[in-house]
Copies of this chain bind each other. A is one copy, B any other.
Amino acid sequence: LGTKVTIRDVARLAEVSLGSASRVINGSANVGADIRERVEKAITELGFKPNALAQSMRGATRMVGILVRDITVPAFAVFVRAAQELLHDAGYTLLITCTEDRKDREIELLNFLVRRKVDGLIATTSSEEDSDLARIRSAFPAPMVLFDREFPSTSDSVRVAHRRGIRQAMEHLIGFGHKRIALITGSKNVLPSRERIIGYKEIAKERHLPIDDNLIRSVSFEADTAFFETFKLLSQPSPPTAIILGGANLLAGSVKGIQAKKLRIPDDISIIGASDSDLASLSQPPFTIVRWDYKELGRASAQLLRDRMEAKTSYPARHITLETELVIRGSCGLPSRKE
Interface membership of A114, Cβ < 8 A? yes
Q: A72-B77, A78-B72 are in contact. Are A49 and B84 (CB under 8 A)?
A: no
Interface residues contributed by chain A, number (CB under 8 Å): 47
Q: Which of A26-34, A195-203, A235-243, A252-260 contacts B (4 or more CB under 8 A)?
A: A252-260
Cα-based distance from A81 to B69 in the complex (angstroms): 12
Cα-based distance from A252 to B283 in the complex (angstroms): 10
Contact with B along A49-65 (1 / 0, CB 8 A): 11111101100010000
Q: Which residue of the partner chain B has the closest CB to A254?
A: B282
Interface membership of A95, Cβ < 8 A? yes
Interface membership of A44, Cβ < 8 A? no
Interface membership of A152, Cβ < 8 A? no
Cα-based distance from A117 to B51 in the complex (angstroms): 7
Question: Hey, which chain B residues are within 8 Å of A107, CB to CB?
Answer: none
A115 and B51 within 8 A (CB): yes
A57 contact from B53, B251, B277, Cβ within 8 A:
B53
Question: Hey, which chain B residues are within 8 Å of A255, CB to CB?
Answer: 278, 282
Interface membership of A96, Cβ < 8 A? yes
Q: Which residue of the partner chain B has the closest CB to A72?
A: B77
Q: Which residue of the partner chain B has the closest CB to A283?
A: B283
Cα-based distance from A54 to B53 in the complex (angstroms): 8
Q: Which residue of the partner chain B has the closest CB to A141?
A: B3
A252 contact from B116, B259, B278, Cβ within 8 A:
B278
Interface membership of A13, Cβ < 8 A? no
Question: Hey, which chain B residues are within 8 Å of A279, CB to CB?
Answer: 278-279, 282-283
Chain B min CB distance to A241 (Å): 21
Chain B min CB distance to A226 (Å): 12
Q: A72-B74, A81-B72, A284-B283 are in contact. Are A53 and B50 (CB under 8 A)?
A: no
Contact with B along A81-96 (1 / 0, CB 8 A): 1001000000001111
On A, residues with C-beta under 8 Å from B are: 1-4, 47, 49-54, 56-57, 61, 70-72, 74, 77-78, 80-81, 84, 93-96, 98, 111-112, 114-117, 139, 141, 251-252, 255-256, 259, 277-279, 282-284
CB pairs A–B below 8 angstroms (11 shown): A51-B115, A52-B112, A52-B117, A53-B57, A53-B116, A53-B117, A71-B80, A77-B77, A252-B278, A278-B278, A283-B283
